[in-house]
Amino acid sequence: MYVGVDYYPEHWERKRWDIDAALMKKAGFNVVRLAEFAWINMEPREQQFEFGWLDEALEILGKNGISAILGTPTAVMPAWVAKKYPETLLLQKDGTRIAWGVRKNNCFSSETYRLLSKKITRAMAEHFSGNPNVIGWQTDNEFGSPSCLCDSCRLEFHAWLEKRYGDIGSLNKAWGNHFWGHLFSDWSEIPIPVDQGVHNPGACLDWKRFNSWLNVRFQKEQLDILRVLCPDHFVTHNFMGLFKDLDYYDLAEDLDFVSWDNYPCWGKPEVRFDASFAADVMRGLKKKNFWIMEQTAGPGGWGAFGRNPHPGEIRNISYQQLAHGADGQIWFRWRTCTAGREQYWHGLLGHDGRPLRRYDEAALTAREYHRLEKEIKDTTVVADVAVIYDYESIWALDIQAGYGGNTFQNAVKRYYNALFRSGTNVDMIRPSDDFSRYKIVIAADLNILEDDVADRLNEFVRKGGILLADCRTGVKDISGLCHARTLPGKLSESLGIEIEEYESIPDDMHFDISGTGGISGSFTSVSYADWVKPLGAKPLAGYRQWHMEKFSAVTRNRYGKGSGWYVGTVVKEEGFYDQLIKNLLDEAGLKQSIIPPAGVEVSIRRGKKKIAFIINHTEEVKTVAVPSGKLELLSGKKTRKKLELGRYGVAVLKL
């Protein structure tokens, strides 16, 4: 179990390095991440490499039992790069190059920048490949910079499109360029769709795909070097959880495992649904456990800082990630910087460098993790419920939301949060994944639905699976064109419905819906409504408005050995989704051994052992019904029928 901090020895006097390493050792830390922003320190002038300072830092850390992950430093180019090679800076909408002086300001299509990136990566790999204190690498830092609009990117976009479509006629057809007379006769006529709100949706969708590909290619060029020169080191990247601009499945493909940066402590204390959601997305990228490469260590912020994690929160945040599959966790950062834009992004230590409350809490967490190491070894989350998480649909809905406030992630959260509240583990999968390993598959707002995916979903239901789909699923094909068929298209087969009409519901309006069988109670329909006509499906909830009385809001259809559920509206009340998810779980025969009260999370890791994490996200004492006679690994005591958790309390049960 690796536990540690992001460390920047180049920010501090040399005499401080020994003190820092000793404090890390005392805290039980055994890993640091280094050098991801230190290109200028390692290559102060072109082709003049200086690694002595980093060798010394690694030696000091190694003597204290601390290993290192090195970052390829290409997220921040040195000033000499910008001065000598201005074409490496990205071009903005106003036609000017971005001013050097922040970070993530490079053009990913620039041949010059790609070459310089490979040179520093190769120099680092050659120098540190044999260093026993280096165990792995992080590529760049948080890929996802703004799109560059330079001629190099435009020409590369044309080449990418030509490879994708083959000929200009196929592109015209895929984008629907007959509309507004936007037919192209040559690749050179194609502009960059700068304004995603007004340009052709197909062009905008491909521009997003292209920019994602540019990042993947840039990383691959570094990976190819590291694989050859450092075959014994792992390579990862620090993803950004629910960040939407890149296809994270593609970016993760060539890595050994995914890492991500988790900062859930901003507003008032609340149940951390989104951090759980993001963790499951990260685990789903490669179907394996992940690391946290940056985690909340104190108040965050650039110009202004946020609130301080309350006592117990740093530990609580960490255990949530451990519960969802984190095999390594690193706090950002070790010590709060006294200079630069992140002076107010606080670390475990403050500006004064004193080990106080936050340090003590991290040290406690590290000691507990090391005690748990043997118990959780070779365990991961195993789920019977899957949510289709699709970047193509994320992008399509960002380009054309359909109705006000609609986003793919918001749609998923309605069901995910209810599953969280029920104590059910969830896998995030891509549309091309195998559905048969799950009992329930949720396709929420799956705006882009290819025919083969619809066919496989129908087959999943026919063979006994439970499918839950909802509004705006199956609207478009892979090119971003609307299917010329009645919604929900091919899924009508398993859902047993058709949607002849639909509408947005303005903010100052709502519809009333009530259960008609299977769903009990009255609820509020907001934002959107499908006019659902059952074709064999059983209505479970309907509208009360006179013009909607003959249409259904929620349906269930028996199809083969399984069932297809459909929710054709957005419901205001959380209780609706809790009831709906309970019905699905009951139908699937899924019973949780621990059902959490409000504000408490339960997640289970499985392997040869079955370990349950019970996490109180509130500042209230919570009582949880648990199986009796089980070993609680943190206290070493056997459980009774009730378990009491204090504010931000955590329990780890060996089931």
Catalytic residues: 142, 294
3-state secondary structure of 571: strand
CA-wise closest residue to 580 among 487, 444, 475: 444
Report the alpha-carbon distance of residue 474 to residue 469 in Å, rounded.
9
Report the alpha-carbon distance of residue 355 to residue 359 in Å, rounded.
5
Report the alpha-carbon distance of residue 413 to residue 67 in Å, rounded.
38
Q: Is 134 left (phi over 0), alpha (psi -120 to 50) or beta?
A: beta
Report the alpha-carbon distance of residue 550 to residue 602 in Å, rounded.
41
**Tokens 């990205």 label which residue?**
90
**Tokens 């260093």 label which residue?**
131
How far does Cα 558 stand from its chain's mean position?
A: 34
3-state secondary structure of 602: strand
User: What Å distances lie between residue 471 and 74, 402, 599, CA to CA?
Assistant: 42, 10, 29
User: What Å distances lie between residue 453 and 283, 449, 457, 489, CA to CA?
Assistant: 22, 7, 6, 12
Report the alpha-carbon distance of residue 426 to residue 603 in Å, rounded.
9
CA-wise closest residue to 581 among 466, 431, 483: 466
CA-wise closest residue to 256 among 379, 137, 128: 137
DSSP letters spanning 222-249: HHHHHHHH-TTSEEE-EE-TT--SS-HH
Residue type, 125: A
3-state secondary structure of 144: coil
**Tokens 């969830």 label which residue?**
426
**Tokens 């009774």 label which residue?**
640
Report the alpha-carbon distance of residue 126 to residue 496 in Å, rounded.
61
Asked if omega into 488 is within 30° of 0 (cis), the reply is yes
CA-wise closest residue to 495 among 538, 444, 456: 538
What's the alpha-carbon Rg for the chain, to the nearest Å?
26
Determine whether 163 is exposed, middle or buried from the number of CB atoms within 10 Å of its CB (0-12, 13-18, 19+): exposed
Which residues are CB-neighbours of 3 under 8 A, at least 6 positions away?
A: 28, 29, 30, 31, 328, 329, 330, 365, 366, 369, 370
CA-wise closest residue to 219 among 154, 299, 280, 138: 138
The tokens describing 502, both together, are: 């639909």
Report the alpha-carbon distance of residue 208 to residue 160 in Å, rounded.
12
CB 614 within 8 A of CB 626: yes
CB 66 within 8 A of CB 31: yes
